[in-house]
């Protein structure tokens, strides 16, 4: 029989999972930005986000269960989660900056330029030429094999769910381990569902946004977005 206190904690876990996700731009901006830049289909974007979110939550759940099993003080687990949070933020900052620089290099390298053609009959014409669009077929295999989803997944596994262990898992442990499992599951479902909802709606909306001449800077913009979200997490505590 699950006590009323556990159900209250489960409700609290749902609220914390939702709030923790909404105020953390690192939970959704990287996926939205990369989906736009790399033109991922919706199903691929959500699959990557789901797996990353699952790894994000399970890493904290596992740490919490280890702490409960070994009787580790919650303050020590909070310190470990804080270290993981700093590591994840700096990884986002580093990845975002590197991707932004690569995107700028790619944009400059593939800027449109004009070719003038003179024919035997004396006529001359010119056309705008862009290597990236004309040779896209050469890069298709590379695009399919890119490691970006794995980078996002790895960084997310590092990232902690700060409120999970001290605010719901340890209080639930005073009642039963079944209660701990229930509140951890509630937190996980709320977190991942919120992530997927925000990502799906934003990605769908961005399909109607045309960048025009900025289109070739899509990768640089994606890297800049991830870079800024990492800075926001690290220095603003989001």
pLDDT tens readout for residues 151-200: 999 999 988 888 898 888 999 998 888 999 999 999 999 999 999 999 99
Task: Tell me the per-residue pLDDT of 3-13, one tens digit each, with 9 for 90 and over.
Answer: 889 999 999 99
The mean per-residue pLDDT over the stretch 54-79 comes to: 91
Statement: residue 204 has pLDDT above 70: yes
d(CA 58, CA 80): 15
Of 46 and 129, the one with more pLDDT: 46
CA atoms of 234 and 25, how far apart (whole Å): 11
Whether the pLDDT of residue 41 is over 50: the answer is yes
> What is the predicted pLDDT for the residue at 137?
42
Q: How far apart are CA 39 and CA 45, in angstroms?
A: 9
Residue 220 and residue 104 in contact, taking contact as beta carbons nearer than 8 Å: yes
Tokens of 166: 């001290």
* pLDDT given for residue 134 in this prediction: 41
- Residue 135 confidence (pLDDT): 42
Residue 226: its pLDDT value, please?
94
Residue 138 has pLDDT above 60, yes or no: no
pTM for the whole thing?
0.83
User: Which pair of structure tokens corresponds to residue 94?
Assistant: 């580093």
Name the 3-class secondary structure at 238: coil
Residue 215's CB: how many other CB atoms inside 10 A? 11
CB 160 within 8 A of CB 88: yes
């Amino acid at each position: 029989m699950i006590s009323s206190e556990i159900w209250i904690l489960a409700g609290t876990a749902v609220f914390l999972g939702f709030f923790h996700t909404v105020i953390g731009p690192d939970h959704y901006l990287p996926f939205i930005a990369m989906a736009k830049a790399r033109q991922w289909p919706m199903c691929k974007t959500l699959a990557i986000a789901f797996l990353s979110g699952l790894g994000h939550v399970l890493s904290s759940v596992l740490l919490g269960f280890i702490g409960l099993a070994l009787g580790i003080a919650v303050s020590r687990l909070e310190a470990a989660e804080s270290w993981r949070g700093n590591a994840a933020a700096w990884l986002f900052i580093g990845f975002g900056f590197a991707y932004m620089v690569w995107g700028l290099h790619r944009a400059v390298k593939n800027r449109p330029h004009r070719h003038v053609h003179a024919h035997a009959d004396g006529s001359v014409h010119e056309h705008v030429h862009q290597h990236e669009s004309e040779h896209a077929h050469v890069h298709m295999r590379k695009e399919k094999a890119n490691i970006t989803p794995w980078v996002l997944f790895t960084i997310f596994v590092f990232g902690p769910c700060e409120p999970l262990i001290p605010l719901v898992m340890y209080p639930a442990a005073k009642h039963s381990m079944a209660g701990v499992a229930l509140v951890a599951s509630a937190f996980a479902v709320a977190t991942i569902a919120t992530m997927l909802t925000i990502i799906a709606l934003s990605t769908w909306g961005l399909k109607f946004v045309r960048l025009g001449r900025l289109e070739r800077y899509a990768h640089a913009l994606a890297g800049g977005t991830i870079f800024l979200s990492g800075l926001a997490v690290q220095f603003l505590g989001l």
